[in-house]
Amino acid sequence: MLQVFGIRHHGPGSSKSLLKALHNFEPDILLIEGPPDANDLIGHVQNLGLIPPVALLVYNPKNLKQAAYFPFASFSPEWQAMRYGLEHDIPVEFMDLPMSLQFSLNEQTTLNLFEENLPSDEDEEDVPEEDLAAIEREIAAKKKKQEKAKALRLDPLSYIAQLAGYSDSERWWEVTFEQHKGDGDIFPAVTELMSALRSDTEAEENTRGLQREAYMRTCIRAAQKKGFEKIAIVCGAWHAPTLQDIDQYKASADKASLKGIKKIKTKATWVPWTYDRLSVQSGYGAGILSPAWYQLLFTDQADAVVLWMTKVARLFREEGIDASSAHVIEAVRLADTLATIRNLPIAGIDELFEAAISIFCSGYESKMDIVQRKQVIGDVMGKVPADIPMIPLQQDLEKQIKSARLSKEYATTELIEEKKLDLRVASNLTASQLLHRLNLLGLPWGKQLADSKKRKGSFSESWAMQWKPDFAIQIIEAGMWGNTVEVAATNFVKTSMKKISTLPALTKMVQQTLNAGLDDAIEDLVEQLQNLSAITKDVLHLMEALPSLVNTIRYGSTRQLNIGALEQVVDQIIPRICIGLPNACIAIDEAATERLFKHILQVNRAINQLNIKEHNLQWHKTLEQIVQSFQINGILSGACTRLLFDKSIFDEKETATQMLYALSKGNDTTKAAYWLEGFLHGSGLLLIHNPALWNILDRWVDELPFAAMKELLPLLRRTFSNFSTPEKEKMLLLAKQGQRDETHNQERLIEIDAAQKVLPTLKLLLGID
């Protein structure tokens, strides 16, 4: 005998009905819609260390782009079916069209699609525009139809639920199938419903679907042949009719439809999954899949509404938000009434959610983020035990993780753990190198936090840690580079550096490689760096690369790095920058000017840090060249004047001369304002400390024609508004103090005088009344 159980994937209601029905039926074999490639892995379901949500990962070891995941939650009918079968000691097998065949079919379909969609040149020219529009509309309509058909096939039950006005299709299942609590045999009804639905022409099954069903029937026939008498078939409801009525299909025809498909060798393993991924996975306009809610429906259906709302209240209480039992009562009442208005016999997740917004969040949905994360989606990640087959790289990674004393078990989504590492501690250094290596391999488990990068020279790093389930496939993918993390990362660097064509990208890789402690790769990299810096014409690229190189040199000692080779590179780069920069400043647009401005400041800082005499001399000469040039945007010459003033290369007098020149009457006022912006970048205090400079500015402001003033004021204010608030306050204070101290000596009085003059203009520029 053969019984088909058409379920809703991940439907807790289906799960419960299925278990009841299986107990009644007592099958001697279980066939489940799933990839036979993973048949050997079914046994692990009984392993206590395998905790859902988990997914079967089937992949082509030779081409990791061919990979498929099959996720299961504890409430998924397939998961419950596997457990049932294992507990009752009957054979459990997957019966879907194997991925080893589907992968090769996929290759063919992509090829075909490509050919179909490729219009020939002639066609395009001949079609008048209106016709094109019509064709586009037609294509859009067709696409829409296909999408609908796809949604239908994927989750036909939720499609019907929506037609019945349910946004929460689980509630529909309950109301429709579970109210008659009898012997629980609802599955014939489901199959019948699907038969009706499948006769709708719009829902026509595609070729692949037909092939899959043919394969499933082939599996069923094989089981019959082997003499099993009570065969239980667990499949998505959509397929149920075509498996139940197996006698109406010819075995030979099924075989024929599968003939000649190339077979690709696959491997399979279990990987941890998350509720977050589970909810993204499904959907397709089939209503939100809410794993946390489904879990509740599976374990505590009778009290689900009250339980859910109580959990929400407790969550809010933890956040310090008022949420009493009275709130819970009101929220449950509101949800129930909402359901009534919507003609639903019981409230679903949407009603609960909306009621919670109104009662707990004063109507603001934005405050529900945490509820969405924890009580709608659920902050749950599954576990896979160590004794499940792993590829070598994966095994090495596990070993490294252990010796680095890291752990990859934490929550998902936005909950990111912050990890502090002290690089003097051996295990911490290992951890840091491991994280850097994984980053190189495209597994951003840890993101180094900016502040730890800034605290240079210190031995500490901080990392934001977030393990993601899909790293599983990336690890397998990285397996092609080598069998240990270190070897794989080294090979990856050596190979990919050859494809890098810009200096900044390469310096970044140098830094990463040094941090990752990949000594074997460094030598090759530095050589590559030398070559590339020699041929780089773009001064901007050189300027961008320098600060990061200097950084690496200065703090390389923390990690006992070999930096001699890098110093050589820097010695070559600085002269090249000095030669190229003045010309690079000429005839560029505003955006390029902004970029250059930033780079000049950064290079200046890097050269100061290195503090090598020849470099300093050469750099200052270059800055002077820029100051002298007529053609250069004011902001750059202003900035360079300032840098020279700060280094006392220009004294107050020389600086005043430059300023006078820049702010002279004949000059374009906008250019002058830009000059000021560059000159005053970072701080304006020097204006107060150097009366000569202030006087020039003051006179210039005074003499500006009113119209020009109005035009320039925003620009000037931008300059001044960039100062920090404490600095602005200090400027004002300095200016005001002069005013108050009237009893002091002669010399002071002059200052006071100056200060009094400063104040009105200063207020104008700071935008204060």
Partner 1 sequence: MKKTKQLLRPHAEEAYAAELKKLVKIDDKQRPSNWQLSPWAVVTYLMGGTLTDGTEIEPKYFGNRRLIEVAVATLATDRALLLMGIPGTAKTWVSEHLAAAISGDSKLLVQGTAGMNEDAMRYGWNYAHLLSKGPSKEALVPSPIMNAMQDGKIARVEELTRIPSDVQDTLITILSEKLLPIPELGMEAQAQRGFNVIATANDRDKGVNELSSALQRRFNTVVLPLPSTLEEEVTIVKTRVEKIGQRLELPAENAPVKEIQRLVTIFRELRSGKTEDGRTKVKSPSSTLSTAEAISVINSGQALATHFGDGTLQANDLAAGITGAIVKDPVQDKTVWLEYLETVVKERKDWKDLYRACIDLVK
Which residues of this chain interact with partner 1, rule CB under 8 A? 322, 326-327, 330, 333-334, 337-338, 340-343, 350, 354-355, 357-359, 362-365
CA distance 568 to 582: 24
Q: 220 or 359: whose CB is closer to partner 1?
A: 359
| Single-letter residue type at 201 | T
Give me the DSSP letters along 493-518. HHHHGGG--SHHHHHHHHHHHHHTT-
**CA–CA dist 522, 562 (Å, integer):** 9
Q: Which of residues 262 and 333 has its CB atom nearest to partner 1 in the complex? A: 333
Residue 97 DSSP label: P
Judged on CB neighbours under 10 Å (0-12, 13-18, 19+), 364 is exposed
- Closer to partner 1 by Cβ: residue 467 or 720: 720
Nearer to partner 1, 204 or 330 (CB): 330
The alpha helices in 559-705, defined as continuous H runs, are 564-584, 590-610, 613-628, 634-646, 652-662, 669-679, 685-689, 691-703
Least Å from the CB of residue 714 to partner 1: 8
Q: What angle do CA 387, 389, 390 make, to 5 degrees?
A: 105
Least distance in Å: CB of 363 to partner 1?
A: 4
CA-to-CA distance for 17 and 8, rounded, in angstroms?
11
Distances (CA, A) of 594 to 55, 505, 536, 642, 676: 50, 21, 21, 16, 14
For strands 2-7 and 446-448, give the pairing.
Answer: unpaired
- Cβ proximity to partner 1, 151 vs 357, nearer residue: 357
Strands (E), 261-363: 267-272
Residue with smaller CB distance to partner 1, 227 or 363: 363
- Greatest alpha-carbon pair distance for the chain in Å reads 116
Closest distance to partner 1 from the beta carbon of 371 (Å)? 16
3-state DSSP assignment of residue 381: strand
| Residue among 760 and 767 whose Cβ is closer to partner 1 | 767
Q: By the 8 A CB rule, do 620 and 644 touch?
A: yes
Fill in the DSSP letter of residue 587.
Answer: S
Radius of gyration of the chain (CA): 36
Q: Which amino acid is at 766?
A: L
Closest separation between CB of residue 619 and partner 1, Å?
Answer: 36
Q: Which is nearer to partner 1, 334 or 543 (CB)?
A: 334
Q: Can you list the positions of beta strands (E) in 132-214? A: none
Residue 349 CB, nearest approach to partner 1 (Å): 13
Shortest CB 173 distance to partner 1, Å: 22
Q: How far is the CB of 350 from partner 1 (least distance, A)?
A: 8
Nearer to partner 1, 364 or 410 (CB): 364
Residue 286 CB, shortest distance to partner 1, in Å, is 18
Nearer of residues 363 and 726 to partner 1, judged by Cβ:
363
Closest contact distance (angstroms) between CB of 329 and partner 1 is 10
* Nearest distance in Å: CB 590, partner 1: 15
Number of separate helices (H) and strands (E) present in the chain: 36, 10
Distance of CA 283 to the CA centre of its chain: 20
* Residue (20 or 717) nearer to partner 1, CB: 717
- Give the position of tokens 């100062």: 723
Q: Which is nearer to partner 1, 343 or 611 (CB)?
A: 343
3 state DSSP class of 444: coil
Smallest separation (angstroms) from partner 1 to the CB of 341: 5
E strand or H helix that includes residue 5: strand 2-7
Q: Give the separation between CA 157 and CA 175, rounded to whole angstroms.
A: 13
- The SS3 call for residue 272 is strand
| Separation CA 637–CA 207 (nearest Å) | 69
At its nearest, how many Å lie between partner 1 and the CB of residue 364? Answer: 6
